[in-house]
A and B are shown apart, each in its own frame.
Chain A
Amino acid sequence: QQQVKQSPQSLIVQKGGISIINCAYENTAFDYFPWYQQFPGKGPALLIAIRPDVSEKKEGRFTISFNKSAKQFSLHIMDSQPGDSATYFCAARRDSGNTPLVFGKGTRLSVIA
């Protein structure tokens, strides 16, 4: 059973456009929702994260939108750049503390000039 469903699997966006990646989760006990960015040959790195007490969090060109009632959250990349080309993973974790993250299957983003 896949606890975090991520879409699309791949995405091609023009430079300057908006990239949108969506995730849906099942477990209402999840209370921490990060997005990780992974470049080829590297390990994933935390990009931005949100908790369910807010509906949106913005850091530079990256925004997480969170819909608790729909059990969905999404990553928006504004003014997408070729350097944003990477694989993006959403994740979720239940309970507070350091319980393991559950990851989505990833979205490969390509930003073309």
Chain B
Amino acid sequence: NAGVTQTPKFRILKIGQSMTLQCAQDMNHNYMYWYRQDPGMGLKLIYYSVGAGITDKGEVPNGYNVSRSTTEDFPLRLELAAPSQTSVYFCASSYRDEQFFGPGTRLTVL
């Protein structure tokens, strides 16, 4: 099993550009999550999904959108990139208690 995979690993965006961060898991987990990690601020939940077709906002959803058309994939969309969205983004999935995290995407918005 590959676990949770994320692409790309790194990306530099210009202000106003859009992009999609990809996340996939092969563990057949119903629950998936997107977090952002800023230095000294811990992990902040952006969006999460309890199954295909169902998504809900987390603590910091503004500026992001998600969709969940399959169990495996949970992409995160940035429509109008802003410098405040410079961060490391982690996708995670879970079945019961344990959340499994992907390796992260480091995004810089200039």
Contact = CB atoms under 8 A, between A and B. Distances in A.
Interface stretch (A52-60, A64-72, A77-85, A99-107): A99-107
Interface residues of B, number: 26
B96 A98 contact: yes
Q: How many residues of A sit at the interface, in one of the four size bands?
A: 20 to 34
Given A100-B33, A100-B45, A46 B98 contact: yes
Contacts of B41: 105
B58 interface: yes
Classify the interface of chain A: helix, strand, loop or mixed: loop
A61 interface: no
A106 B102 CA distance: 18
Contacts of A100: 33, 45, 48, 58
B40 A106 contact: yes
B103 interface: yes
B55 interface: no
